[in-house]
Structure 1
Amino acid sequence: MHIRTVSPVFVGRAPERATLAEALASATAGAPQAVLIGGEAGVGKSRLLAEFLAEARAAGAVTAEGACVEVGVEGLPFAPVSTVLRGLNRQLGEELAEAAAGFGGELGRLLPELGGPTAAARAGRDEDERARLFELTARLLETLAADRTLVLVIEDLHWSDRSTRGLLGYLFRSLQRCRVLLLATYRSDDIHRRHPLRPFLAELDRQRTVLRVELARFTREEVRGQLAGIRGSAPSERELDQVYQRSDGNAFFVEELATASDCGGGSILSDSVRDLLLVRVEALPESAQRVVRTLAEGGSKVEHALLRAVTGLGEDELIEALRTAVGASILRADEDDSYGFRHALVREAVDDDLLPGERSRLSRRYAEALEADPDLVRADERPARLASYWYHARDAARALPATLSAAAAARCRHAYAEQLHLLERALEVWDDAPAEVRRRLPLAEGVESYPLCDCDDEELSFLDLLAEMAVTARRAGDPERGLTVVNRALRHMNERSHPLRAAWFWTQKSRLMRNLARSDGWSELATAQELLAGFPPSRVHAHVMTEAAGWRTVFDPRPEGVAVADQAVELSRQVGDEESELNALISRGGLLAEGGDGDAAVAVLRDAARRAEETELVSVFKRSLVNLVSLLEGIGRSEEAVADADRGVPIAYRYGLRDTESWLHGNRADSLFSLGRWAECEIAVRESRRTAQTPVSHALAAKRMALLAVARGDLETAEAELTRMTEHYNTFDVSAPQYAHPAAQARIGFAAQQGRILDARRLLAETLAVDLAPGVGRYTWPMLDAAAVAESEARGVPAAEPGQPAAISRIRACAASLPRSYPVWRAYALLVEAELRRAEGTARPADWAAAAAAFDGLTRPRERARIALRWAETLLAEGEREAAAERLAEAHATAQRLGAGPLLTEAERLAQRGRLPLTPDDDLDQPDSFGLTRRELDVLALVAAGRTNRQIAEELFISPKTASVHVSNILAKLDVTGRGQAAALAHRLGLVGT
């Protein structure tokens, strides 16, 4: 029995084919492309892809296809990606192995043929392994597609697991400079409001590199062409009308109607879609129907050997039944000796037609067959499928251990969302499973090794399950669910006495509260520490104290925190927890630096980085390296910071830590900015943005670009970057000084350059009002410097005068609370005070001379140029013209080399007002006072005094119109935008009297 249901002639789709051809051409030219193809079930997505892939192969491209696999109601983690990589491996063989050399163990999670993970990775200690897996996958594809075009297809995205969506999203964002075309299909009619694919599609819509194509139904003429291809002759008008009306242009329904009519069923078809799809199934012999029904409950596809074991048919009988179903175009045979339905709609109709008892019985048969012979399915799919079969068999005693085993396998593949889903199922069947089953659960294989405490085995197993769920929810990006689980565990333990367990859960709650930006998490950590009182050292102690030390590093980095870090280090060593020890040492280094012992801090961090690299604790190594570079910059050792960042970037690349690359590029950019290497700084910031993977990293890149733009005087770019920074900062807690103070520094500098002194003051007040430690030297001194400059520049502005004394007092009070442990911090303290005295009109040459001396030996050209400029200004006011000219020429040369627009403008204006040469060739015979006439100077004096045009006219015996003309001329000559700025400039440059 063989029925042709597919037209050999490809009908329609000209615009869509043109779009795909254009995407292929762009990919072949070296620009990676991604196209999402949506459409209702049966509209022709797979046929369009099949035609296009044939054309791509004819053009020399290498193609590989994978499909999201439905097992019950959840997809197998990474199944389509594994299938695609397997297809590439079959075609490229040794070349793929060479491209994966050095990190094949990691990629073995997706393609077992490349090998297994390392021992450290199997231990599950590294929370960054998922990000590494994604980056290494991208790197593998980039390598393979350097000299050839790869066309990779993922079908049925509506069944995709969250981990697959995460990996695809990463590839869409991260693939660069390679010849890759990614194609994915999904059912648009299945994407209801709460479907998990909807937010994924919305996110992709914001990426300019991703195209969306929606396939429409066929027109009446296209249905005519399809019927003609299936039948081999044109349909009659009556038949065309009938098929078109009933199919409504859906290509698959056209095929089914045409086939049913050919089989003599046209007159008995009901209006039910399900009945339409079941017509040809019910026409099969009973043995073939039995196989089809069994296959429907097994998943999207079932291996031949497994199907034989479940059906119980003999080999010949099974093959004959399969041949019949394949010949009727109901099933299809795949290359890997598995079978699936030719169209998912038919499978859904057959599965829906089963009785509930039939479904559970078939699921049990699948589970029993798989347990009897595990080799019936691929090893990477076995745990998830077995767990699903037992769950749908409604056998809690068998489902619970199988589900926990599948959760462990999902964790090993970094499929955290799928792991959480499986753990939720384990929790669902927990109470239904017999107590003896719960007591002998192999949790050492199924969940992480959490700190043990005094409770019976069954109780311990349940708490282990909740502990694993809490950590998994955090890793899966679902802190709300994690918080719910933690609260449940804490309520559970309130009825019993498990203080050590409770302390561990309170520590997790602290993390989750910070992730959700609901608090800084200190009260939860304090509760955990109280619960530990009186107990001997344990892994719980080490964990809690390490978290407390890390908290202090971020939120309260005062020297007292060193004692907490020392305690964490000692506890970790006592219980043999090396990861906690290294993390505690990193926190200790940061706290030592804030306390003034920078040399010891650098030594601690370098040693921690060495040990972490030796033991493959990649997340610890990342933290040590990023903190080391930041610390070196913070204590004024910028050249060393650049060198360590340069050393760290290749290591981060080797480990596949793309976001760590972003942090290192960003920290490197900070040091390059300090060193005055602004062109290199901009390149580093762009690299930081290119490799950023989190809102934090994107926000920091925007902040750095804004600071650079403010320093250059590029206010348009600064405004755009500050807007971008704010958008990203809105997604996480930014109350810690390391985020809040540099952001305020950029905003204050931008407001000051726009003449918005009141906004600058408000920004500083709001930042300092947050209930934090008073600040840290690394981040707070530059913010105070920006605020002091804003007050200095606003001197004499009428609107600024009323609040200026209070604003200056606020800055001085904060400065008095800050440490001055390093030369760079002491230099900033003198610079801030000098700027405040300038704002008060009391600055003298000695103030600037002291600041200049403090910056000797520090490579901070921008600050030195500003000091030289201010010094020249005070020297000029005291009549020391020769010394003033020397300082001014120094400031002008540095500002010109840096491209510091605002400093350059100030230097040129001071030279013009004071008739000082900027270079030996300067001509000083130029108009004085910016070319203002005597009458304009008189008008400017009254503008500076706050007079209106009418008042000016009355005092000078001129008409208001003439006064208005004078004011307009003054604004133009001074190159300012308003009377307030003109008044401030006039006072600052001495163009008018007091």
Structure 2
Amino acid sequence: MRSGKTSGSLIGREGDLDALVNALHESAAGDTRTVVIGGEAGIGKSRLIDEFAATVPAATVVVKGQCVDLDRDAPPYAPVTGALRALSATIGAEALLDAAGPSRGALLLLLPELGARAAPATDRVGETTVRGGAEFLYDGVAVALENVSREHPLVIVIEDLQWADQATLGLVRFLVRVVEHGRILFVLSYRSDDLVRGHPLRSWLPELDRTPRVSRRDLSRLTKRQVRQLVGEILGSAPLAHDVDVVFERTDGVPFLIEELVDFDGYVNADCFPDTLREILLARYDTLSEPTQKILRLMAAGGTRVEHSLLLAVHDRDADDIDRAAREAVLGNVIVIDETSYAFRHALVRDAIHEELLPGERVRYHSQYARALEAGLSAECIPATEISYHWMAAHDMKCAFGASITAMAQAHQAFAYDTASRMGERALELWDQVPDAEAVAGRSRVALLAETAHDLRNAGESDRAISLVDEALADSPPDDVERIARLLRDKASYLANVGRTGSVELLRRALAVLQGEPPSVLRATVLGELAARLMLDARFDESVEIADEAFDEAREVDSRARMSISANIRGMSLVARGEIDRGLADLERAGELAGGDDSARLRYFVNMSDAMNGLGRFDDAIRISLEGFEGARRRGVERTSGALLLSNTIEPLFAGGDLARADELLERALELDPPIGFSAHLQRLKLWSTLWGGDIAAAEALLRGWRAPLSLQLQIDAQSRLGLARVAGEIALAAGNLPAAWLEVRGVLSADHRRVAAYDLPLLAVAARALAGATSSGTPIATEDGETDPARIEARLRAVLEPSSAWPTAAAYLAVFDAELGGAAHTGTDAGLWRTAVQASRSPLAQAQLLPYSSLRLAEALAADGDRPAALGHAEEARRRATEIGAGLIVARVTELERRVGLPASGSASTPTPGLVPDNRRLLTERERQVLDLVEQGQSNRQVALQLFISAKTASVHVSSILRKLGATSRTEAVFLAHQGEAPELTPAAR
């Protein structure tokens, strides 16, 4: 019998092996690297990784984690847990826990067997660390790996990601994005042929391609030449050409299938090759004895890899039977020994053998595995999801139900919400098939519906969560008022998560249900959430009233945390409606009442920093938000509350003109990959930064990609609505798309617009610019209710602006607004108004970009008035200020202004370089070429004059000169002839 000989060299994968080795060298220098290896089943991913692992220096620790194929029941974090367990065995449990430091609690969630070794983790003020969600676990693993890598360079292999659960993918994605400076090489593999439509890896792979620390290797099938080489190495002699042709045809160049086809005991020549893939995969199995085949079928029921102790527990005969069968199967190259386990050479072989199970064997074997795992007979801690899988495969619904309930609790505790919700839904499906379901579950069906809905929401499936809540509400007894109120509150939250309206009404219903009940934390919570929803919708008067009730209710039940949150919401609402001192006092009180409650304290930092930024107190906003961010990071909520606090740091940095630091923090915050409810503001800031940095095309592309997720909150969050309208309007204006710009900003005139001064002011300035541009170009625009007259639209904009005129940051925006619509034609040509805007923009309360922008517009106005020396001076001032803050958008516009008015651009030659003007355009002067460019865009003489700051008569003279020099009889013909290789010979007079 053959011993499973394979090629001694890695045929066709030499470049991929070199890429892994190079990535290892880069990671060893302290720059974390990731290599992602993709390819269909049997293409050689594992062989490549094994060959690479053999080349790794002895000082580098290599650990592997294997995703398992249990349909949709993959245990949460299984491959990461496996890798960490191997790391613990290599460096010692104490060393691993020490590396995690205060985050060691995260490791205990994954490796509970280390619990006896762990001391309680404390933060720097001595309080017990509070777990904040999946980010707590993510951060703990990242910290541990980075710290271990300082002592031991690491190679962490995670294989078969196509089978990973959502929790595993979330953790691996986090590690790849966030771990930057560890001596770590992540090697990830996946089956490309398993990535069906909707698979989460399909959306992740393009993101990986954009990450500079990641390289991707897609393994292709072998060519016929490579197949001939592989067959020859397996056989030890040159194969016949006919045999190579048959092998190539049957296997399509897949290395594993080639080995299975050529290297088995029945091989003589191509005439004896199996005909189908299934026969190829079972060829070795079919040569084994029946007792060995039976044990392999038992092993296949346990998965691709089975521990010896577990196989012994489920086998109902002599242990010697396992030894004899294992020895025969190893010699037959069907399985391999993996330390204390048996593993099939390939998952494809396991799948084929599993399909050989008879119905009785399937029920019996899976039942035996489930019982053994429940009894703790495995050497490893087995999640209940795996037990549930076996009971489902055995069609034992009652046992599957109980295991699913346990698995749901385990997954929830480990923040694996996708798995938890799936187990909950399975239990709900099985509920009617279990006679005593409520006793087994330890809760009512309504309670299970509510818990499953909560996990669905946390898994990002709020729509499905709403459906389950609706079912729970329909089944709830009318007298269970607390349950109904909680369900209504939950539904309100889930609706808000998907950007749907209705939350306010649901919270009012919850209050009605609780009417007449004794004071409670629940009622204080519902009141607080109602006040928060009203505040977000800019219904500040109602929010203050409800927040008062919430505060009184919380005080009556002595809940300082709920008192803090109520004061917080009331304070923000008071500030927003102009009662600034009173509102800030409430916010300060909220901070004092929060005490050691993490949630209340973080909400204080978020809202207080937001208030400071809106009031133009940028330094205070930065200080408060950074303090809050440090607290969020220590408590493991860096990706959620921490993301909000980073955005509240970045925005005032931009406003204060520190664009470099703001961009650095922005990239860091986006790398955290926060959920959309926390990333939306960061994305708007990224749009703003990209635009004002000068890359208009990139800003447009980002807006197209992010429009859908950013739009989720528009119906329920006034700040999101106004903030997106502003930046989208600015992008459209920068791109020269006036109709689109007006459509973005005109909502400020809608009947349901609610005033938010800090957001209204910049938006109204953009709306004024869009209106002036439309008026100047003759572009038709209209309000949502059909108004088209520019004068009436301007009057309505001023009516919206007036209530915000007393806001602390209003002076600069009011001046810019007036200047945008100044001049006889209301098109922003009044130099005096732009001088006023420049002066107002020097205020420390004004956003930094307003000064160079106003200086640019002043220069444009002066140029239009014919005062070119003054225009040049202010253009230079605009360039200097814009360069200081990194506003490339303004720098580019200054350069364009200098070109249009015929002034020498700063830092450039005043005449074109010979040879750079193509074709017949060389016959024209620089000014005539500028005119021709605008004519080519279809602009009239009047529009050309406005663009170039010349009179219409002068524009007409230039057009006539162009026609004469090119020998054209029309503007259209001139455009055509300008791009031709030769011009008609000019007469002396024409010259």
TM-score by length of 1: 0.78
Counterpart in the other structure of 1:448: none
Is residue 158 of structure 2 the alignment partner of residue 154 of structure 1? yes
1:744 paired residue number: 725
In the alignment, is the contact (CA less than 8 A) between 1:559 and 1:594 conserved in 2?
no
Mark the CA change 1:561 to 1:961 in structure 2 (over 3 Å): closer, same or farther. same
| 3-state SS of paired residue (2:180) | coil
1:522 corresponds in structure 2 to 504
Q: 1:369 aligns with which of 372, 376, 379?
A: 372
Alignment-mate amino acid for residue 794 of structure 2: I
Secondary structure in structure 2 of the residue aligned to 1:353:
coil
Query: Contact (CA 8 Å) 1:638, 1:675: kept in 2 or not?
Result: yes
| In 2, Cα distance between equivalents of 1:497 and 1:737 | 37
Tell me the alpha carbon deviations over residues 755-796 of structure 1, each in whole angstroms, 9 at most, x when there is no partner.
766655443323442x65522122112222333456678887
CA shift digits 1:653-675 (9 cap, x unpaired): 33441454443333223223333
Letter in 1 for 2:654: F
Query: What CA distance in whole angstroms lies between the structure 2 residues aligned with 1:554 and 1:404?
Result: 37
Instruction: State yes or no: 1:645 paired with 2:647.
Output: no
Q: How does 1:96-495 map to 2 (within 5 A)?
A: 96-112=96-112, 115=115, 129-145=133-149, 149-193=153-197, 195=199, 197-201=201-205, 203-205=207-209, 207=211, 209-220=213-224, 222-223=226-227, 225-227=229-231, 229-230=233-234, 246-261=250-265, 271-335=275-339, 337-371=340-374, 373-379=375-381, 381-435=382-436, 437-443=437-443, 461-493=444-476
Match of 1:555 among 520, 529, 537: 537
Query: How many Å apart are 1:726 and its aligned residue?
Result: 4.5
Task: Please give the root-mean-square deviation of Cα atoms over the aligned residues, in Å.
Answer: 5.0
Shift of 1:326: 3.1
Counterpart for residue 671 of structure 1: 652
- Give deviations 1:658-695, integer Å, cap 9, x for gaps: 45444333322322333344444444444444445345
- Contact kept in structure 2, 1:590 and 1:601, CA below 8 Å: yes
Cα offsets for 1:964-983 (capped at 9, x unmatched):
999xxxxxxxxxxxxxxxxx
**Correspondence list, 1:961-980, <5 A:** 961=960
- 1:404 to partner: Cα distance: 0.8
Q: Report deviation, 1:814.
A: 1.3
Residues 528 and 276 of structure 1: CA distance in aligned 2, closer, same or farther (over 3 Å) = same
Instruction: Give 1:51 deviation, angstroms.
Output: 0.6
Amino acid at match of 1:671: P
Q: What are the Cα deviations for residues 361-408 of structure 1, in whole angstroms up to 9, with x where unaligned?
A: 22222233333x3253423x2422222233333233322222111111
Work out whether residues 785 and 831 of structure 1, in 8 Å CA contact, stay in contact via their aligned partners in 2: yes
* Letter paired with 2:790: Q
How far apart are the structure 1 equivalents of 2:735 and 2:256?
63
SS of the aligned residue for 1:108 comes to: helix
Partner-residue secondary structure (3-state), 2:185: strand
- Against the structure 1 CA distance between its residues 575 and 844, is the aligned structure 2 distance closer, same or farther, given a 3 Å change threshold? same
Shift of 1:146: 5.3
- Residue 599 of structure 1: CA displacement? 4.6
- Where 2:357 maps in the other structure, the secondary structure is coil
Q: Is the 8 A contact 1:39 1:188 kept in 2?
A: yes
Structure 2: gaps spanning 5 or more residues: 782-787, 865-870, 899-926, 932-940, 966-991
Alignment-mate amino acid for residue 484 of structure 1: S
Tell me how far apart the structure 2 counterparts of residues 351 and 874 of structure 1 sit (CA, whole Å). 80
Contact 2:815 2:833 (8 Å CA) reproduced: no
SS of alignment partner, residue 5 of structure 2 = coil
Give the TM-score of the pair, scaled to structure 2: 0.78
The Cα of 1:104 is off from its aligned counterpart by 0.9
Deviates more, 1:598-607 or 1:165-174: 598-607
CA distance in 2: counterparts of 1:240 and 1:944, whole angstroms: 73
Q: Give 1:92's aligned residue.
A: 91
Q: One-letter code of the match for 1:19? A: A
What letter matches 1:556 in structure 2?
A
- Could you report, residue by residue, the CA deviation over 1:820-853 in whole angstroms, capped at 9, with x for unpaired residues? 4x53357756775676676787999999989979
CA contact (8 A) 2:208 2:214 kept: yes
For the 8 Å contact 1:401–1:442, the answer to whether it is kept is no
After superposition, what is the alpha-carbon deviation per residue over 1:397-452, rounded to whole angstroms, capped at 9, x for unaligned? 322222111111011111111111111211121101113x4235335xxxxxxxxx
CA deviation profile, 1:920-951 (whole Å, cap 9, x unmatched): xxxxxxxxxxxx9xxx9xxxxx95999999xx
Distance 1:823 1:699 in 2: 26
SS class of match (2:380): coil
Residue matched to 2:808 = 823
- Residue of structure 2 aligned with 1:731, choices 709, 727, 730: 709
Tell whether the 8 Å contact from 1:698 to 1:725 is kept in structure 2 after alignment.
Answer: no
User: How far off its partner does 1:106 sit?
Assistant: 1.8
Give the Cα–Cα distance (whole angstroms) in 2 for the partners of residues 692 and 149 of structure 1.
26
The answer on whether the counterparts of 1:827 and 1:854 sit within 8 Å (CA) in structure 2 is yes
Instruction: Note the C-alpha offset of 1:158.
Output: 2.5
Could you say if the C-alpha distance between residues 261 and 103 of structure 1 is closer, same or farther in structure 2, counting changes exceeding 3 Å?
same
Q: Alignment partner of 1:133: what SS?
A: helix
Q: 1:430 to 1:120 in 2, by over 3 A?
A: farther
Q: Structure 2 CA distance, aligned partners of 1:468 and 1:755?
A: 51
**3-state SS in 1 of match to 2:333:** coil
What corresponds to 1:63 in structure 2? 62
Query: Equivalents in 2 of 1:273, 1:895: separation in Å?
Result: 66
**Larger CA deviation: 253-262 vs 341-350:** 253-262
1:7 corresponds in structure 2 to 6
| Cα deviation code 1:27-68 (max 9, x no counterpart) | 34554333332333333221121111111236x543211100
2:792 aligned to which of 796, 799, 806: 806
Q: Aligned ranges for residues 497-646 of structure 1 at < 5 Å?
A: 498-519=480-501, 521-538=503-520, 540-572=522-554, 582-599=564-581, 601-602=583-584, 604-605=586-587, 608=590, 614-617=596-599, 620-646=600-626
Q: What displacement does 1:108 show?
A: 2.4
**In structure 1, C-alpha distance between the alignment counterparts of 2:446 and 2:855, rounded to whole Å:** 65
Gap runs ≥5 in structure 1: 444-460, 878-883, 912-931, 937-941, 967-994
The answer on whether the counterparts of 2:657 and 2:849 sit within 8 Å (CA) in structure 1 is yes
TM superposition shift of 1:576: 6.9
Between 600-609 and 841-850, the greater mean CA deviation after superposition: 841-850
For the pair 1:24 / 2:24, whether they are aligned, the reply is yes
Distance, in Å, in 1 between the alignment partners of 2:438 and 2:212 is 51
Residues of 2 paired with 1:156 and 1:860: CA distance? 50
SS in 2 for 1:66: strand
Equivalent residues in 2 for 1:812-961 (5 A)?
Answer: 812-818=798-804, 820=806, 822-825=807-810, 832=817, 858=845, 943=942, 961=960
Q: 1:463 offset after TM fit, Å? A: 0.8
Partner amino acid for 2:420? Q
Per-residue CA deviations over 1:860-885 (Å, capped at 9, x if unaligned) read 666678889999999999xxxxxx99
After superposition, the C-alpha distances for 1:612-646 in whole angstroms (9 at most, x for unaligned) are 673444xx544432222111111232221121233
1:785 aligns with 2:771: no
Q: Does 2:746 align with 1:765?
A: yes
Identity %: 31
2:918 maps to which residue? none
Give the residue type in structure 2 aligned to 1:811: L
Q: Aligned partners of 1:329 and 1:586: how far apart in 2?
A: 68
When residues 325 and 903 of structure 1 are mapped into structure 2, their CA distance, relative to the original with a 3 A threshold, is closer
Contact 1:77 / 1:164 at 8 angstroms: preserved in 2?
yes
Quick one: which amino acid aligns to residue 587 of structure 1? I
1:35 is matched with 35
Query: Secondary structure of 2:106's match?
Result: helix
